Amino acid sequence: MRSKLVVGNWKMHGSLAANSELLKGLLAGIARAGSVDVAVCAPFPYLAQLQAMLAATPLRWGAQSLSEHASGAYTGEVSAAMLGDFGCRFVIVGHSERRTLYCETDATVAAKFVAAKAAGLIPILCVGETLAQRDAGETLRVVRSQLDAVIAVAGADCFAGAVVAYEPVWAIGTGRTATPAQAQEVHAAIRARIAEADAAVAPVLQILYGGSVKASSAGELFAQQDIDGGLVGGASLVADEFLAICQAANR
Ligand code: PEP
């Protein structure tokens, strides 16, 4: 039996004051999440605030990206060890916005995944197809190739201590959610691909769904056999909505 995990991706939103209010709201209602693990991933400058406010609480936290390099002349970059200094447990790797807007290739994503694991962080590897790829019937091929790129670099057993998030690009920030059946089909294919690489890790790997998850859609999505929680963008910025999503995972 896999435990459920719900992760908020704040993207480039927030301020010290707004984060403080949001975190207080989450902490006031976190009991609603029951046994569900809950985390928020914030912009780098706010990681110290998360560490200060969440260290003694059930809420975990993480970052939204990292450098593939351990240290050196990489102006503007942040290493995995630096994230560790601020108590991060998770780091999102390969979000579609990073792949599209910042030209992160499968190779870069794989290197970041390796760097995260080497520093003891849990990478949340995002995979997913564009609408054109879905319409062309290429969804499973695309997702498989994104997984293969990481396995080729990080090894067959690399998903031990990692999380995968299936995020159809057409569903991120659009208000359009994959149907539970569409999501389940891809989640099952992801688990099957991981099982080919490592039969032991596949049954315990947490595979999250992301893409316009709302409290109203979360219950049915999270009830699917291979959906182990969510990666939540916009709805994670509203305490009550995010808590209701966490509560939906607690069933
Ligand atoms: C995301 O940021 O990963 C995401 C899924 O965003 P949203 O929930 O807003 O679609």
pLDDT, tens only, 89-100: 999 999 999 999
How far does the centroid of ligand 1 lie from the alpha carbon of residue 109, in Å? 18
Instruction: Judge contact between 39 and 10, C-beta under 8 A.
Output: no
pLDDT classification of 51: cutoffs 50, 70, 90: very high
Does 13 score more than 80 pLDDT? yes
Which of helix, strand or coil describes residue 93? strand
* pTM to 2 decimal places: 0.98
* pLDDT for residue 92: 98
Tell which CATH classification among 3.40.50.300, 3.40.50.1000, 2.40.128.30, 3.20.20.70 matches the domain 5-249.
3.20.20.70
What atom in ligand 1 is closest to the CA of residue 212?
10
Q: Is the pLDDT of residue 1 over 80?
A: no
For the chain, the structural domain boundaries read 5-249
Residues in contact with 53: Cβ distance below 8 Å, sequence separation at least 6, in sequence order: 20, 23, 27
Average pLDDT over residues 114-124: 98
**What is the residue type of 73?**
A
Q: How far is the CA of 231 from the centre of ligand 1 (A)?
A: 7
Could you tell me if 190 and 212 are in contact, meaning their C-beta atoms sit under 8 angstroms apart?
Answer: no
Instruction: Indicate if ligand 1 lies below 6 Å from the C-beta of 123.
Output: no
pLDDT surpasses 80 at 58: yes
Instruction: List, in order, residues 6 or more apart from 2 with CB less than 8 Å away.
Output: 203, 204, 205, 206, 228
